[in-house]
Amino acid sequence: MRGEIELPGDKSIAHRAALFAALAKGESLFENFPDSNDPLTTVECLEKLGIQYEYAGKTLWIQGRGPFSFQCPKDVLDAKNSGTTMRLLAGILAGQSFPSIITGDNSLLKRPMRRIIKQLAMMNARISGTRKGTAPIKIRGTNRPLKGINYELPVASAQVKTAILLAGLYATGTTTVIEKIPTRDHTERMLGLRVQKFGRKNYISINKLHQIPPSRMTIPGDPSSAAFFIVAALITPHSEVMIKNVSLNPTRIMFLNILKRMHGIFEIVNKRNPDGEPIGDIIAKSSKLQGCSVGGEEIPLVIDEIPILAIAGANAGGTFTVKNAEELRNKESDRISSVVANLAALGVRVEETTDGFALEGGSLHGGASLDSYGDHRLAMASVVAGLSARKEITIKNMQAAAVSFPNFMDTIKMITNNN
């Protein structure tokens, strides 16, 4: 694998850019706004709420009119496959005077929503889900301000943190979210929120006087997408791949520490900080990887990269273990059982546990049919597995990759055809 590539804009930043621009008063402009399904779903939901936008050539223009300018949607809002759309939007809609319903695809309808419903209800939002604590989420609307809360997150989740903070814009008093274990901090950075550290905990506060200015930003490349190409280069002989303009936000690149632990060879060059998010170029080279153990507080910071780290582990010497990662079962698929099923199909000796898995690395046999289980990260990880397998593999439901990376296959081909 050889060459230089650029990736779609970061999914987490893109969702927030669109939502925060809608909450601001004035025009915002984002370059490199990804044309992937999830962030565009957020934009479509905003349109149903009366927000004007234009999107062409990866440039998104949004006209925001402030936190109380949304219009009652004529229809149910469809978050499709996007948990971030559903949870963040619920935080904003909880403070509106009009009713709304947010639904999603079959995968999203199975994912846990009680974690936001309970908290938003504590803030006096009139919100409910199904008996199982899943979507559709129904919000009845309220003419009274919400009530600010101090809330310590029981599950390390940036989506839950952000949903509560956004509802805090509609609440009396201050709303403070307390994080025992850090999660991605794009919301804090992009909203310019005060974060205080007491002991090892982060206290993040907001109130309804918090002004969100319109913004201009080039969305940096998605580090979670970069992880697929970095691992592909590390496990393929004679490779050197440069991935340009990737977000180097410290809460997003913990997977690089893990790959370093696995003896991965890469360097980061051209570091800069243009729009409040650090970015740089990553050069990854063929390496002789060694297994390692991943767990504890690093899990929330690598939660999206575990499927591809598992492929790195399967190509490494020794054992690769993931522990304390039960949250993986709540993603676009149950990522513990789907990763384990695909690895087993590839001929890897792997054992599933309640909170992770353990595998014996070596070379991949292949000659199997893998399934993305409708999960974009499983689809892309399977392709990287295929690159290193001895026999051809096929992948079912590959189109799932479009959730975060519609041109994934073209980009992979671009750097593999050079050999």
84 binds ligand S3P (CB under 6 A): yes
What the block records as the tokens of 303 is 């939660």
C-beta of residue 34 within 8 angstroms of C-beta of residue 7: no
Residue with Cβ nearer ligand S3P (222 or 281): 222
304 counts as catalytic: yes
Kindly state the tokens that stand for 44.
Answer: 């479509």
CA-to-CA dists, residue 187 to 12, 17, 19, 159, 257, angstroms: 9, 9, 11, 9, 23
222 scored as a contact of ligand S3P (CB under 6 A)? no
CB 19 within 8 A of CB 84: no
Residue 303 touches ligand S3P, criterion: CB under 6 A? yes
CB of 390 to ligand S3P, least distance (A): 32
- Gyration radius of the chain's alpha carbons: 21
Q: Which of residues 112-171 bind ligand S3P (CB under 6 A)?
A: 157-159, 162
**Residue 261 or 329 with smaller CB distance to ligand S3P:** 329
In the complex, the smallest distance separating the C-beta of residue 186 from ligand S3P, rounded to whole angstroms, is 7
Ranges within 334-373 binding ligand S3P (CB under 6 A): none
Cβ 87 to ligand S3P shortest distance, Å: 7
State the Cα–Cα distance between residues 71 and 107, nearest whole angstrom. 28
Backbone angles phi, psi at 160, to 5 degrees: -65, -45
**Does 304 interact with ligand S3P (rule: CB under 6 A)?**
yes
Which of 78, 222, 275, 304 is an active site residue? 304
For residue 326, the SS3 value is helix
CB 121 within 8 A of CB 109: no
Smallest distance from ligand S3P to CB 159, Å = 3
Residue 42 phi/psi, 5-degree rounding, is: -60, -45
Least distance (Å) between residue 323 CB and ligand S3P: 17
Residue type for position 39:
P
Residues 167-206, mask of contacts with ligand S3P (x by CB under 6 A): -----------------x----------------------
**Rule CB under 6 A: which residues touch ligand S3P?**
12, 15, 84, 157-159, 162, 184, 303-304
Residues recognised as catalytic: 304
